[in-house]
């Protein structure tokens, strides 16, 4: 089934806004509620979902969901079939111990917006659209799917079968949940368990080639620090119709476990997909914590820097191509910007469109940080990997606190002072002196190397796998 350009961009614009985290009010758990068991039944056309929730312990007073779920909720029923009041939340004050509630979700309308992507008979949604949750801290939850014969479900927390335990953040943090008619592929690459859900849509390459593309990206990210940052990853491939670039868009989601959505163009060859930066960029985000919106120049800068470095380390592109991509990326970043400080530019880039300034200013910060660390006998990915146990203590970090936590491993702070300098800039940071020291030189429009440069060995070490 073909997909038109404008429709894709509407869906993408909406998905993009889900990238950054916002502050959430602190919620407290109802002490008497012990757990929730969901059952989900779907029709073949994926137009309607019937969901029931049974509670162990005292039922909560209300169920909540992401804002986009509210208008899809068609009806809510109590234990004896009577309608229950609902709006922004589902009111359970009349629900007694031992009773279950059920509701209908109008999935047909969950399309082309932020809440769903549809391809042919398949759909990708955020689980919270179906699974309204008790307000407050997460409780132990499980879900059982009753699917039409031949349909599959795929999420970071599915392992085949019909009954699934939900990780604590599966409903509080946006995640990926796919219903599809093609069996998800499960494979192990570099010790990483991968579940790959490929949605319907025309692709010039076979499913086996898509699997090889994802395997190559996992191998590249395995060269980060001590190796791939998670034992398991979920990947959703959503064909994006024809286009001149290999991949239209990618997005990482972490609710319920790491999950990456990739939208390759149907016209892309296997070689173009494997050499493309998007999958490596998204997967490398998983090596680093989530941050708030004004700090996204740091997280995107890191992923933009490492998309080039890790591909070169894994041999997906040459070192020359990697440095060339960095030089060209810096040129593109320098060409845009609104004169805001980098912190504000990062916060506002959804409105201003100054993505390249934000991403590539951040990438230059990451390069300068990596060079600084390597001159002290360390490396940026090595340091981030070494501090993983600290970085995973929080779900979302403020950039300054995260960098301070990394700096504590060093004899003297490096990452945060450098970030303060970059973050306050209203223009694009100066790249020339650093590149010259590294021996990355551009002559007549061609990027080449000067092996007599003072930091030529650092330049080589950056692109060399451990
Ligand atoms: Zn990114």
pLDDT digit string (tens) for 366-420?
Answer: 999 999 999 999 999 999 999 999 999 998 999 999 999 999 999 999 999 999 9
* CA 128 / ligand 1 centre spacing (Å): 23
Based on the domain organization, do 435 and 297 belong to the same domain? yes
* CA 85 / ligand 1 centre spacing (Å): 40
Based on the domain organization, do 296 and 436 belong to the same domain? yes
Of 306, 436, 461, the C-alpha closest to 375 is 461
210 inside domain: no
Based on the domain organization, do 319 and 454 belong to the same domain? yes
Based on the domain organization, do 308 and 436 belong to the same domain? yes
CA torsion through residues 95, 100, 106, 112, sign: positive
Q: What are phi and psi of 31, to 5 degrees?
A: -70, -20
Residue 430, C-beta contacts closer than 8 angstroms, at least 6 positions apart = none
Residue ending a domain, among 176, 204, 230, is 176
pLDDT at 290: 92
Q: Which residues of 332-362 are buried (b: 16+ CB within 10 A; e: fewer)?
A: ebbebbeebebbbbbbbbbebebbbbbbbbb
Tokens representing residue 197 in the block: 């859900």
CA atoms within 13 A on the CB side of 305: 25
pLDDT at 112: 65
Which CATH number belongs to the domain containing residue 47 in this structure? 2.60.40
Based on the domain organization, do 157 and 306 belong to the same domain? no
Residue ranges making up the domain that contains 52: 5-19+33-176
Tokens 């090595």 sit on residue: 382
* CA 282 / ligand 1 centre spacing (Å): 6
* CA 303 / ligand 1 centre spacing (Å): 6
* CA 300 / ligand 1 centre spacing (Å): 5
Residue ending a domain, among 116, 150, 176, is 176
- Asked if 380 and 366 touch (Cβ cutoff 8 Å), the reply is yes
Q: How many residues does the chain have?
A: 466
200 inside domain: no
80 inside domain: yes
* CA 28 / ligand 1 centre spacing (Å): 32
Based on the domain organization, do 442 and 297 belong to the same domain? yes
12 inside domain: yes
pTM of the predicted structure, to 2 decimals: 0.91
- Asked if 48 and 42 touch (Cβ cutoff 8 Å), the reply is yes
Residue ending a domain, among 176, 193, 216, is 176
* CA 55 / ligand 1 centre spacing (Å): 38
221 inside domain: no
370 inside domain: yes
106 inside domain: yes
Terminal Cα distance for the chain, rounded: 44
How many structural domains are present in the chain? 2
* CA 302 / ligand 1 centre spacing (Å): 9
264 inside domain: no
Q: Which residues of 264-275 are buried (b: 16+ CB within 10 A; e: fewer)?
A: bbbbbebebbbb
Per-residue pLDDT tens listing for the chain (466 residues): 333 333 333 333 333 333 334 333 344 545 589 999 999 999 999 999 999 999 999 999 999 999 989 999 999 999 989 999 999 999 999 899 999 999 999 998 887 665 789 999 999 999 999 999 999 888 999 999 999 999 999 999 998 888 999 999 999 999 999 999 999 999 999 999 999 999 999 999 999 999 999 999 999 999 999 999 999 999 999 999 999 999 999 999 999 999 999 999 999 999 999 999 999 999 999 999 999 999 999 999 999 999 999 999 999 999 999 999 999 999 999 999 999 999 999 999 999 999 999 999 999 999 999 999 999 999 999 999 999 999 999 989 999 999 999 999 999 999 999 999 999 999 999 999 999 999 999 888 889 999 999 999 999 999 999 8
């Amino acid at each position: 089934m073909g997909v038109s350009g404008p429709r894709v961009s509407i869906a993408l614009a909406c998905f993009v806004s889900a990238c950054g985290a916002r502050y959430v009010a602190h919620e407290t758990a109802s002490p008497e509620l012990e757990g929730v068991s969901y059952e989900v039944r779907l029709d073949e056309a994926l137009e309607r979902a019937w969901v029931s929730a049974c509670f162990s312990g005292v039922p909560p007073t209300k169920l909540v969901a992401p804002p986009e779920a509210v208008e899809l909720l068609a009806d809510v029923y109590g234990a004896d079939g009577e309608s229950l009041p609902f709006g922004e939340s589902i009111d359970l004050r009349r629900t007694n111990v031992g009773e279950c509630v059920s509701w209908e979700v109008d999935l047909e309308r969950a399309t082309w917006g932020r809440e769903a992507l549809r391809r042919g008979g398949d759909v990708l949604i955020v689980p919270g659209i179906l699974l309204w949750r008790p307000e407050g801290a997460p409780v132990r939850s499980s879900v059982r799917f009753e699917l039409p014969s031949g349909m599959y479900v795929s999420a970071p927390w599915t392992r085949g079968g019909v009954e699934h335990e939900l990780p604590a953040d599966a409903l509080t943090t946006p995640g990926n949940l796919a219903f599809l008619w093609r069996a998800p592929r499960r494979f192990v690459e570099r010790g990483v368990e991968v579940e790959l859900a490929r949605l319907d849509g025309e692709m010039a390459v076979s499913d086996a080639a898509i699997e090889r593309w994802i395997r190559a990206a996992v191998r590249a990210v395995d060269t980060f620090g001590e190796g791939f940052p998670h034992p398991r990853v979920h990947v959703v491939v959503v064909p994006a119709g024809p286009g001149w670039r290999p991949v239209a868009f990618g997005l990482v989601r972490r609710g319920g476990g790491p999950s990456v959505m990739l939208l390759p163009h149907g016209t892309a060859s296997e070689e173009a997909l494997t050499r493309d930066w998007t999958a490596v960029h998204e997967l490398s985000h998983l090596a680093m914590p989530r941050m708030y919106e004004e700090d996204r120049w740091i997280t995107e800068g890191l992923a933009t820097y490492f998309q080039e470095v890790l591909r070169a380390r894994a041999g997906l592109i040459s070192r020359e191509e990697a440095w060339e991509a960095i030089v060209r990326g810096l040129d593109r970043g320098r060409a845009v910007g609104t004169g805001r400080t980098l912190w504000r530019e990062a916060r506002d880039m959804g409105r201003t469109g100054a993505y390249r300034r934000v991403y590539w200013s951040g990438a230059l910060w990451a390069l300068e940080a990596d060079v600084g660390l390597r001159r002290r006998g360390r490396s940026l990915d090595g340091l981030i990997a070494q501090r993983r146990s600290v970085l995973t203590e929080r779900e979302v970090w403020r950039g300054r606190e995260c960098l301070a936590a990394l700096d504590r491993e060093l004899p003297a702070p490096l990452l945060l002072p450098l970030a303060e300098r970059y973050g306050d800039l209203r223009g694009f940071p100066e790249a020339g002196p650093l590149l010259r020291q590294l021996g990355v030189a551009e002559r007549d429009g061609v990027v080449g190397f000067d092996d007599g440069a003072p930091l030529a060995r650092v330049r080589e070490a950056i692109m060399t796998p451990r």
